Structure 1
Amino acid sequence: MTEADLSIIIPAKNGASYLPTMFGSLLRQGDIWERSQVIFVNDGSTDDTPRVLDEFAEKFPRFDVITNPEAGGLANARNQGLEAAIGEHVAFLDGDDWLAPDHLPTLLEAAHRLDVDFIRCDHTTVEGAKRSFKRAPMAVRNRALDPRVGILPAHDSTMVDYPYAWAGLFHRRLLEQGILDFPADFMTAEDRSWIWRLHLRAASFAVVDSPGILYRRGLVGSLTQILDERQLDFIRAFSQVFHLIRDEAEPERWWPKAIRNWLAILDHQITRFGSSPASLRMKLRRGAGIVSSQIPSELLIREFSQQKPSRQLNVCSYLGASSSYITEMVK
């Protein structure tokens, strides 16, 4: 028997202006806090974060703070939170986001009723005054499922295309099995191999309707808005995905989806890095070639041939050992 029903892990750096909204939303989650733990990871903040934490600490029965003198990144901060978690279930929340009332009780009720390894839910993006509802790509709801049904079909958006760590709830047994932690030292794309590992190695999951998470996008200073070498972590992330697939008993089932993911994201990143310094573009090309060479060449060529012409032209010279043959295909 664990000491708490829920541990919620909240990493943040310099988020003081957003934290009152986030903590206020936690206080509107009903009567769960007597059996729940808040873990806040202050990841190198230099703003008023400590003052805000002092203000809200007394409002929660179990409020633990981990302070990093320097920022170690979201993946490492979440892993620190996991090490400190005492709950039967674990949730993640970013410091600049917030929850609709009764969101956590809804997820906990579903977790107790369905007894699955993890639960996923929808969310709403917030960009200034604009809000957009984003549905988790799974039609079957409120039912225990094999997580592998969330991977295919290869040509559709599926649950591995919905990697957001904060969009769900996770049973402690995943942590004990070594499935729930994030890849160390990743500054971006930390959830890409994480979501594949969950869907390949966990025993059960469910998607449920819930009041929702409000996810801020487009914030000044966010890593998603900064183009530098940290954004190249997506290359290492896919290398990890490909290693996971090679270790599977039937890798041929999962390669098409993973390759399509890789080609789509590589296409996006090549365009995104188009105006970056030549040294950064060279690192992207070199890294993409190395990782593409991990894919069985016949499968890479087959999936490449099914891509739209604009994508083929954009990525063809980034595909490692297969690049020469593929370049001839698109001439």
Structure 2
Amino acid sequence: MIKASVVVPVYNPGPYLQQCAESLLGQSLPPDEYEIVFVDDGSTDDSPAWLDALAAAHPRVRVHHQENSGWPGKPRNVGVELARGEYVQFVDQDDELAPEALERMYTLGSRNSADIVLGKVGGTMTGPSNVFAHTIASCTVADAPLIESLTPHKMFRRSFLLGNDIRFPEGRVRLEDQLFMARGYTRAKSVSIVGDYVCYLWIRRDDGGNNSGNALNLRAYYGNLREVMDAVVEGTEPGEVRDRLLRRFLRVEMMGRLREPRLNRYSEAYRNAGYKEVRKLALERFGSGPGGVVDGLAPIMRLRVTLLQRDRLDGLRELAQRCENVRAEVSVESAGWHDGAFRVGLRVGLVHTDGRPVVVTERAGRYHLDDELTAGLPTLPDGWDVGDPCEHVTGEVRAHHRETDTWWYASEPLRGSLEPLSHDGPQPRYQVVGTGEFTLDPDRLAGGAPLAGGRYELWVSAQILGLGRPLRITLDGRQRRDESVVPALVGNPARIVVPQRTLPVGQLTLRVDDRDQALAGAVASLGVGPLHVSGSHLKLSLPVRTGPGAGQHDVEVVVGRAGSAHTLPGRIVPAQSAVLALDDVPELPTGRHPLALRTDSSGRRPAAQIGVAVVREGRIVAVHGIGYRALPRRLLVRLTEGRRLRRRAYWLLGKLPEEQAELVKKAVRRVARWSPPTSR
């Protein structure tokens, strides 16, 4: 039985096709349970012959050659017709599937009778998407934000596509993917989402060949958007679900063109042409006043649409300029370990360029948007009523894995509240803020699965009053957080997780599995002790938290300097604060010796010093901390607290010759990473 057919439209792919094919041939699904259907759309390079040779060597590969159609739609449709699998997975010729993608997607989809299966997307051409925040066994477009993922690189039940006559438009049609997905989502009775494994890798080509950012034919583009919206209307009943789906196209494809930063950076001719087409479609579909679709927008977006309906491009441009000068600020209210998970409490608010908060003013029991955003805007003599200011406060905390460019999500949402501000007049003023406490469990954060090893940068994405901002989560170096932001030993088998404040911006990161000896640097900076000695056995307390049920972690301890050092097996043992345990310590020469730690079992990285061992009569009798050596780093932290100072430093670096600038950067990075002298 063929469980899945992978359909790949091909046209002059160059060297990228081979990488794609290798990823498809390397799937964990047994070879007799899937097939790969390449549809050559009249390629003029050597790919047709290469594909034929590939099919001759691999029975699960099939190739179909046809005249050039000029767009991926027809090759995909032909691929569906030729497919023999229960499910069809679409893949572009320059993208890849992760090794377990087909197996995981098919298993989840077939178990839940899914018509469509979404696999988490990663790679160099995609950003974060909370559609893939968690694995979902079964959902529909009515109860999940599926409409936010409109690319077709998904798995579809073949009988579902054929039975509902869901096909790609053929020929050169803009938004053909959105039309296909709108028809699919509104007809699907069950959709599954694989959120704990990156299935689809969307790769940016070196030549930019898969970047569709060319100038649009605006009239044709919005004509095609009409068809997409028609498909939504055709597939839904009047009401909240239909309004929410249509609202997405109003917010993104239409109003996204009429807001900052793009609106005021277009050429005048292009801006006017885009405005004309957007307004024409908006009036046609949503009328000239309030309605279910418009009313559900966040306050500032609803204000933009109102200005559009009233034909005030000048007002839209002024509002875009004012909103571009608004930024968001995040503060860490709490941080630390709790039951094996790192928890961080956040507060996010909007501020003007001078740091004053963006406010809402209460007038006769109603809340009005900050006058600095609305004063003087055409047709708004009485300001702008925002309704419930907290209704549209949303957001989430994200962990970005730099090595794989993958985003993972905490499960808790950001919630809105009003903070009263002091005022001189009779009208109370408030700042709308988003707050929340977020759990980052290294054993569950990857969509319910453990995080892979590496560095994870922490971000918060916030939407307040209709303005969205992604923000680095930064720790204030002036606040003492040594007692909470400490390393931890979690899980069994035990894993080391080290929270760090990276320079120069102070972003909070989690280093998982300690591949770069971050634990030793943290321990040295925070301090060690006390030491308990019993004969040849010793236990040294470490500033390392341990989660419930955590196992022990084997390490190496190096005592002495290079050339005369003793390397001893040790282990980090769970306790209220973890201890470094050494058994059968041999006799050592009397004196003071560097004591270094290596958690990287591969031996590729040297041990990093965490203290000084005092040896008398052959035995270690004390270990002194070396935290004072972190003083250069602490001074650097204080120096980089101010944004203006950081900008000035970058400006000065830019004035240096390239070679000297690199030397300065290298020295700063060495201090910023701070780890004590190393031993082999």
TM-score, reference length from structure 1: 0.78
Matches within 5 A, 1:176-255: 176-178=162-164, 180-208=166-194, 209-217=196-204, 219-229=207-217, 232-233=220-221, 235-245=223-233, 248-255=236-243
Maintained 8 Å contact 2:168/2:177: yes
Maintained 8 Å contact 1:99/1:213: yes
Maintained 8 Å contact 2:11/2:40: yes
The structural deviation recorded for 1:175 is 1.4
The structural deviation recorded for 1:162 is 0.9
Maintained 8 Å contact 1:235/1:287: no
Cα pair distance change 1:142/1:67, threshold 3 Å: same
Specify the SS of the correspondent of 1:120.
Answer: strand
The structural deviation recorded for 1:266 is 2.1
The structural deviation recorded for 1:6 is 1.6
% same residue: 21
Task: Give the Cα separation in 2 of the matches to 1:223 and 1:323.
Answer: 35
For residues 75-112 of structure 1, the C-alpha deviation after alignment (integer angstroms, 9 at most, x for no partner) is: 23212222222221110000000112121122122223
Specify the SS of the correspondent of 1:225.
Answer: coil
Task: Give the Cα separation in 1 of the matches to 2:19 and 2:264.
Answer: 34
Task: Give the Cα separation in 2 of the matches to 1:227 and 1:192.
Answer: 18
> Residue in 2 aligned with 1:143?
137
The structural deviation recorded for 1:312 is 2.1
Task: Give the Cα separation in 2 of the matches to 1:295 and 1:138.
Answer: 30
Larger deviation, residues 222-231 vs 248-257: 222-231
* Cα RMSD after superposing both structures: 3.4
> Residue in 2 aligned with 1:266?
254
Aligned length: 310
**1:295 counterpart = 2:293:** no
**1:165 counterpart = 2:155:** no
Maintained 8 Å contact 1:110/1:142: no
Aligned residue type for 2:278:
A
Task: Give the Cα separation in 1 of the matches to 2:298 and 2:127.
Answer: 33
Maintained 8 Å contact 1:33/1:60: no
Counting strand residues as a fraction of each chain, which structure ranks higher?
2
Maintained 8 Å contact 1:119/1:170: yes
The structural deviation recorded for 1:124 is 0.9
**1:88 counterpart = 2:78:** no
Task: Give the Cα separation in 2 of the matches to 1:91 and 1:126.
Answer: 20
Cα pair distance change 1:188/1:169, threshold 3 Å: same
Task: Give the Cα separation in 2 of the matches to 1:329 and 1:304.
Answer: 19
Cα pair distance change 1:231/1:5, threshold 3 Å: farther
Task: Give the Cα separation in 1 of the matches to 2:135 and 2:75.
Answer: 31
Specify the SS of the correspondent of 2:202.
Answer: strand
> Residue in 1 aligned with 2:347?
none
For residues 159-191 of structure 1, the C-alpha deviation after alignment (integer angstroms, 9 at most, x for no partner) is: 21111211x321122112225422333543222
Maintained 8 Å contact 1:90/1:171: yes
> Residue in 2 aligned with 1:312?
304
Task: Give the Cα separation in 2 of the matches to 1:59 and 1:231.
Answer: 47
Maintained 8 Å contact 1:304/1:312: no
Aligned residue type for 2:95:
D
The structural deviation recorded for 1:240 is 2.5
Task: Give the Cα separation in 2 of the matches to 1:169 and 1:6.
Answer: 8
Cα pair distance change 1:85/1:281, threshold 3 Å: farther
Specify the SS of the correspondent of 1:126.
Answer: coil
Aligned residue type for 1:145:
C
Maintained 8 Å contact 1:57/1:63: yes
Aligned residue type for 1:237:
L
Maintained 8 Å contact 1:13/1:71: no
Task: Give the Cα separation in 1 of the matches to 2:79 and 2:236.
Answer: 29
> Residue in 2 aligned with 1:108?
106
Matches within 5 A, 1:24-103: 24-103=22-101
Cα pair distance change 1:255/1:18, threshold 3 Å: same
Task: Give the Cα separation in 2 of the matches to 1:308 and 1:114.
Answer: 37
Maintained 8 Å contact 2:35/2:61: yes
Max Rg structure: 2
Task: Give the Cα separation in 1 of the matches to 2:172 and 2:182.
Answer: 16
Task: Give the Cα separation in 2 of the matches to 1:38 and 1:74.
Answer: 16
TM-score, reference length from structure 2: 0.41
Task: Give the Cα separation in 2 of the matches to 1:81 and 1:283.
Answer: 38
Maintained 8 Å contact 2:101/2:119: no
Task: Give the Cα separation in 2 of the matches to 1:286 and 1:241.
Answer: 19
Task: Give the Cα separation in 1 of the matches to 2:234 and 2:6.
Answer: 33
Maintained 8 Å contact 2:41/2:68: yes
Cα pair distance change 1:139/1:233, threshold 3 Å: same
> Residue in 2 aligned with 1:22?
20
Cα pair distance change 1:56/1:36, threshold 3 Å: same
Cα pair distance change 1:56/1:329, threshold 3 Å: farther
For residues 221-264 of structure 1, the C-alpha deviation after alignment (integer angstroms, 9 at most, x for no partner) is: 33513224389536413443245326632344321442243232
Task: Give the Cα separation in 2 of the matches to 1:43 and 1:136.
Answer: 34
Aligned residue type for 1:146:
T
Identify the structure with bigger relative contact order (alpha carbons < 8 Å, sequence gap 6+): 1
Cα pair distance change 1:24/1:230, threshold 3 Å: farther
Specify the SS of the correspondent of 1:194.
Answer: helix
Cα pair distance change 1:306/1:242, threshold 3 Å: farther
User: Structure 1 unaligned runs (5+)?
Assistant: 151-157
Specify the SS of the correspondent of 1:23.
Answer: helix
Task: Give the Cα separation in 2 of the matches to 1:237 and 1:180.
Answer: 17
For residues 139-166 of structure 1, the C-alpha deviation after alignment (integer angstroms, 9 at most, x for no partner) is: 552422234212xxxxxxx221111211
